[in-house]
Structure 1
Amino acid sequence: MYCHHGDDFLDQCHRGDDFLDQCHRGDDFLDQCHRGDDFLDQCHRQKHPKCFHVCSVCGADIYDRLWTNNLDIAKRTLEVPFLQDMQLGDLQADYYVSFTIQDVAYLVKVTEMLKQMCQKVKEPEDIHQFMLERFNSYNKYAEETLKLFNLKSVSDINLTSAMKKYLSDYTSIMNDKDPIYFVVALLPFARLWLWLANHLKETPCNAYFTWKKQNSQGHPEKHYKALLNKYLTTADQITQANSIFRQQMQNEHEFFASSLKKQNSSCKCKP
């Protein structure tokens, strides 16, 4: 369906081929750059024991470290029945509609949290500005989406267990962690949906090609990269950020996985 974004938010959430080239996030580059866990250990603990920001050997910064450290979840998410059936073009429409409804609830609930963060976080100025920009972007798209579905609110939507946990984890991070970790919590969605869209093998003839097209371009690094590299500078901070990032990546995985259980996968009826 949608990607939680208006025109401004498209820049946040999507990455096209040009960006993939710029960020070198393809599997081939990962091999060339040796940015797996073993190399990070060698680079940051042996050669650069005090370096937690940017590695002078491979150029891997926190923004990219968080992604490469948790790429395994992205790969597992791509294999869930919901996305595989989307890729084949035979996902039953009712499952897609249910997924979309949960997605709308997510959009509205996270918009409300961003509003709270705007009111709560006044300093540092750059983090306040980040929250304000994300709120304006999410809010614009939330209003457009509710209007599209003729909804006044999402109060009557019954959340799935996966979505309840996802939103609960957001709330805990918002209430219990420093604001920079809420920034971290938002990032998995921004990067994962783009990565999934670019890895789904679909043609324009596919009924779900619109989802791929809407989510396949963007530049989330414009919003996140500088902040993460500025405020996550110690081993403890990076460890905590990675834990939150992985938790939210897993929540994304569960959202997609719960949208179509294996036993409910589209039937392959004989003609």
Structure 2
Amino acid sequence: MRSGVRDIYEELWQNNTDVAQQTLTVPFLQHMQRGDLQADDYVAFMMQDVLYLLTVTDLLGNMSRRPLPNDLKTFMQDRYQSYQSFSNYILDRFKLKAPLDIRPIPALERYLLDYRTIMDKEKPIFFAVSLLPCSRLWIWIANSLEESYCNAYFVWKKGNMHGNPEKHYKVLLNNNLKTPNQIKRANQIFRQQMQNEQNFFAASLVE
């Protein structure tokens, strides 16, 4: 960024790294790192994650059909196409057929409700903000987990280590979040969704 120009994209992450650090310590991820996570707990987590993926894909489809400024329209359409493609891959990979009859655990139900509330009650730029915590956190967690190829859950680490959320979000957020009130609200929503991520991981294994 040019000198004197705030990088809101990066600020949102830096302001919430405490939640990221706390998330890394939850039992589910610690047992995954050690390789002794019970297989049924991992399967249950994955099924909830599939439900998350399909639901957020539908929400993005809704947003992509709304009248929006050009940059937001392009963002929503691109993200929808990406999520839709990945949804199709996951359904085929696990031989599943949508719609799935999966009940969300309370933590995920709360998370998805917050997405819907943001979509319906906030300006569209804040829905974009609400998507970013998942994109940044999962990459960070995957790179932070100390796992070797011998770990049965290295496949999760490997599958989530890479990605470039900056490409999709940085210019959009920095161009659309200018006023103190906009930046304050973006921070609130970002932290709320980071906390939803932590709650989801924490609820996936309660010891």
Shorter-normalised TM-score: what interval? over 0.9
- Map of 1:1-271 to 2, 5 A cutoff? 56=3, 61-120=7-66, 122-261=67-206, 263=207
- Aligned residues with identical type, % of pairs: 54
- TM-score, length of structure 1 as denominator length: 0.74
One-letter amino acid matched to 1:102: Q
Q: Which moved more, 1:243-252 or 1:210-219?
A: 210-219
Could you list the per-position Cα deviations for residues 216-263 of structure 1 after superposition, in whole angstroms to 9, with x for gaps in the alignment?
A: 1121100000010000001100000000000000000011000001x2
CA root-mean-square deviation: 1.3
Using the alignment, how far apart are the partners of 1:55 and 1:249 within structure 2? 28
The gaps in structure 2 that reach 5 residues or longer are: none
The gaps in structure 1 that reach 5 residues or longer are: 1-53, 264-271
Following TM superposition, the consecutive aligned residue runs of length 4 or more in structure 1 with deviations greater than 4 angstroms are: none
- TM-score, length of structure 2 as denominator length: 0.97
One-letter amino acid matched to 2:58: E
One-letter amino acid matched to 2:62: Q
Q: Structure 1 pair 198/175, CA: closer, same or farther in 2 (3 Å)?
A: same
Using the alignment, how far apart are the partners of 2:167 and 2:195 within structure 1? 24
Using the alignment, how far apart are the partners of 2:85 and 2:119 within structure 1? 21
Using the alignment, how far apart are the partners of 1:155 and 1:168 within structure 2? 18
Using the alignment, how far apart are the partners of 2:94 and 2:7 within structure 1? 40
Higher helix share: 2
SS of the residue corresponding to residue 185 of structure 1 reads helix
Task: Answer whether contact 1:105 1:154 (CA < 8 A) is retained.
Answer: no
- Per-residue deviation, 1:60: 5.4
One-letter amino acid matched to 2:117: S
Q: Greater CA radius of gyration, 1 or 2?
A: 1
